[in-house]
Structure 1
Amino acid sequence: MATGVTRSQRFVLALVCAAAVSTIYAIQPVLEAAGTGLGLARESLGGLVAAGQIGYFAGLVLLVPLGDVVNRRRLITVHLVLTAAGAAVAAAAPNGVVAVAGLAVAGLFAVVVQVTVAYVAAVSAPSQRGRNIGAVTSGVVIGILGVRLLAGVLGDTVGWRAVYALLAVLCVALALTVRVTLDPDGGTPAVRYAQVLASMGRLARTDRLLLSRGLIAFFLFASFGTLWSGLALPLGTEPWNFGTTQIGLFGLAGLAGALGASRTGRWADSGHAHAIAGCSLALLTASWLLIARTEATLWLLIMGIILLDFAVQAVHVSSQHLLTAAHPHRASSVVGAYMAFYSLGSALGAITTTWAYSTWGWSASCWVGAAYSFSALVLWGLAQVTGITSHSAASPPRPRPKCRDTATLRC
């Protein structure tokens, strides 16, 4: 039953998304410092980054479907506490093995983000679903980009462990706040976990709308990951030679772009979700022309970052709006399946940007990012041509029964 979401509830849920996703990305700005403190060799540092991503992917498959089985308010609370536990283990880890375990646990339960989106979709009125999803998911981008600045500053002053200690405390505080703030009827569908998992598998194989939006998300976040996983490489060398704090400040440009896209949810509510996605993907592709210009001035780069993050957030919100509207009774499953594409795309972007930069330089990374965004634009265009643009594309139409009596049309 749609009971609505108040402004204060949207704010709390946006903070939940920001804090949870931060536990995955906070290690990136302080990676070298963490490796030194844990006694890890440089070639082993990738394990610290991969741990959270692997845990997150597992959570998307195994934990997010629980949102269609148990009460979502209770599930959000428990997941936040367990995310805090993983962050606390990472903060206190005496060696690399324990740190990897803590980061994996934090990533596993950071999928509370998707349960939160499903909660919002379930309790929102149809006319406000896009607006509410847009407001809450803005917290995801705030977490991904804002934690770079926070981790950079804390890493340079207090130490890398303070980042995860702070995130652990924040997650516990949010768990208590969610328990008090959210309505108790956040969705308790009467289905079994095994049924939801089977349904999630069928969705990934047969649902045309999910496949279309999932593939777009795959290339969308591959482009996003190409920028944010590789940006520190050119900025940390000649002619700029920036430190982690200075590089983290570029996250503010990304935040400006992402927050600027917060109104796209309202446009999606007005029936413009597909047009928003197409225009935003074209804008995303064009933004790479600015991002590639880092030689003489950084203003073009900053403008490109703003445009890129605006476009990514706009497409992301419109896709989740369409999918949750098409599957209102299994929002957790469809969001989890969609976000699995996101996770794989982000990993692809992170891998290919470092490879391209080490081989041909920053311009090659930008060509890779632009190729990903253009691929997403092509997929959007194919969806328009083939008619995968409505809720009806989510499942094939049922055949109408034949009438035995054509005179009376009695069936």
Structure 2
Amino acid sequence: MDVRRRLLLAVVCGVAVAGIYAAQPVLEPMGRDLGVPAELTGWIVATGQVGYLAGLVLLVPLGDVLDRRRLIAVHLAITAAGMSLAASASAAWVAFVGLAAAGAFAVVVQTTVAYAASVSPPAERGRNIGVVTSGVVVGILGARVVTGTLAAVWGWRSAYGVLAVLSLGLAVLVLVVLPSDERPHPPAGYRQVVVSLGGLFGQRLFLTRGLIAFFLFASFGTLWSGLSLPLADPPWQLSESRIGLFGIAGLAGALGAARAGRWADAGRAVPVTGLALTLLILSWAAIAQLPRSLWLLLVGIVVLDFAVQAVHVTNQHLLTAAHPDRVSSVIGSYMIFYSLGSALGATATTAVFTAYGWAGSGLLGAGFAACALAVWATGSRRPRDSANLRSEEAGTHRAREEKQGTDRAGRVRDNPEVL
């Protein structure tokens, strides 16, 4: 895959996911304008996550049935419609409908990642997933900067209008620039693919990586869905545009972890996960100092987003290498954990902050991170034989053999003992 196509796929991911998180820096004015009580403003973000969850189950499996290129374009167009509805809403329920629709079809992100994985040779799969997935984090965090800036000038509605226009433009570019993804075998039927999703949850590799993602993104959501609240309060009393600028620090950390895909290609996915989760816990020690220091907050944000992106990329690398014939389904099912975790973080942090202040939110985020590390550590203590190690690093071994001109038979299979 050339640089131009990788960049386009990363932008698609960024714009699609930005619609879910655009509300984070403007929760207070958005909730006030729509008549949503302060203690329930977390649901503005969580609504998009609920729609996202539904899309993961019902829409992402279509990627294993239909041409992913056309599917990406259609989903982008419908996402634009949802964001347009949110931008023009005069009542809370109308905005929630628009946000839910935009969230449901924002699963175009998973179809895009699946497309990148399916058209990549094994030696480059981790690298391409890392680059494309970086667009997701850029979208999540960049949305804060863009939304905050636009809200300060034209109000919060302008951000959703801009995202709608960008989504439509990208839908056209996808059809023009990307080739169809050719598949060596006829795709299974939609019903068969959806029914088979249940079997993934009984596989140890998938369940372990999914639980790590659940706690990982609960910790991530605790920070980014709750950060605007203490920054808007005394002693800082920052405007929406200044609050949004903190997303730049997150971008620095997330982009710094783009190399995680290459680490995974080199067979270091498991130790990288453990190290990153340890850093995630430590980041909260700095983030919790927000009432006293903005500089420590910035350091904590960079470390947190580096850790989150590194774990997220290695998770997806391991799962797509283990299921090369059902990439869309496995990524979509994995992201169910992501969606649930993000929704939990978004709703819990506003409630905890209201009751216990930022110290409570800090403990909450660190607790989620510790749970993720515990899941990883528990699995890492399980004995693994050479066959398990071979399955875990199948993408790396296949890449090396291809470079040496060897002919490898068979495909990568999931091994429930692999972590």
User: TM-score when scaled to structure 1?
Assistant: 0.91
Q: Answer whether contact 1:288 1:304 (CA < 8 A) is retained.
A: yes
Deviation at 1:200, TM superposition (A): 0.8
Q: Which residue is equivalent to 2:299?
A: 303
Q: Which residue is equivalent to 1:334?
A: 330
Partner amino acid for 2:74? V
2:119 is the counterpart of 1:123: yes
2:194 is the counterpart of 1:197: yes
Distance 1:381 1:50 in 2: 29
The change in CA–CA distance for 1:312 and 1:186 in structure 2 (over 3 A counts) is farther
Distance 1:88 1:248 in 2: 22
Distance 1:83 1:92 in 2: 15
Deviation at 1:92, TM superposition (A): 2.2
Q: Which residue is equivalent to 2:405?
A: none
The change in CA–CA distance for 1:360 and 1:89 in structure 2 (over 3 A counts) is closer
- For residues 315-338 of structure 1, the C-alpha deviation after alignment (integer angstroms, 9 at most, x for no partner) is 000000000000011011111111
Aligned residue for 1:255, secondary structure, equals helix
Q: Answer whether contact 1:119 1:186 (CA < 8 A) is retained.
A: no
Aligned residue for 1:361, secondary structure, equals helix
Distance 2:268 2:149 in 1: 40
Give the alignment of 1:9-408 within 5 angstroms. Answer: 9-38=5-34, 45-185=41-181, 187=183, 189-204=186-201, 206-387=202-383, 390=389, 391=391, 394-395=414-415
Q: Answer whether contact 2:42 2:225 (CA < 8 A) is retained.
A: no
Distance 2:2 2:180 in 1: 14
Distance 1:76 1:361 in 2: 41
Percent identical pairs in the alignment equals 57
The change in CA–CA distance for 1:284 and 1:48 in structure 2 (over 3 A counts) is closer
Q: Which runs of 5+ in 2 are unaligned?
A: 393-412
Q: Which residue is equivalent to 1:405?
A: none
The change in CA–CA distance for 1:198 and 1:395 in structure 2 (over 3 A counts) is farther
Aligned residue for 1:89, secondary structure, equals helix
Distance 2:36 2:364 in 1: 31
Aligned residue for 2:24, secondary structure, equals coil
Deviation at 1:136, TM superposition (A): 0.4
Aligned residue for 1:30, secondary structure, equals helix
- For residues 181-221 of structure 1, the C-alpha deviation after alignment (integer angstroms, 9 at most, x for no partner) is 111225585200111111111112x1110000000001111
310-319 or 48-57, larger mean C-alpha shift: 48-57
Distance 1:131 1:298 in 2: 34
Distance 2:38 2:370 in 1: 34
Partner amino acid for 1:302? L
Deviation at 1:42, TM superposition (A): 5.0
The change in CA–CA distance for 1:235 and 1:37 in structure 2 (over 3 A counts) is closer
Deviation at 1:40, TM superposition (A): 5.2
The change in CA–CA distance for 1:42 and 1:274 in structure 2 (over 3 A counts) is closer
The change in CA–CA distance for 1:64 and 1:355 in structure 2 (over 3 A counts) is same
Q: How many residue pairs are counted as aligned between the two chains? A: 392
295-304 or 305-314, larger mean C-alpha shift: 295-304
- For residues 56-94 of structure 1, the C-alpha deviation after alignment (integer angstroms, 9 at most, x for no partner) is 110011000111111111111110111111111222233
Based on CA coordinates, which of the two structures has the bigger radius of gyration? Answer: 1
Distance 2:93 2:215 in 1: 32
The change in CA–CA distance for 1:45 and 1:229 in structure 2 (over 3 A counts) is closer
Distance 1:252 1:91 in 2: 24
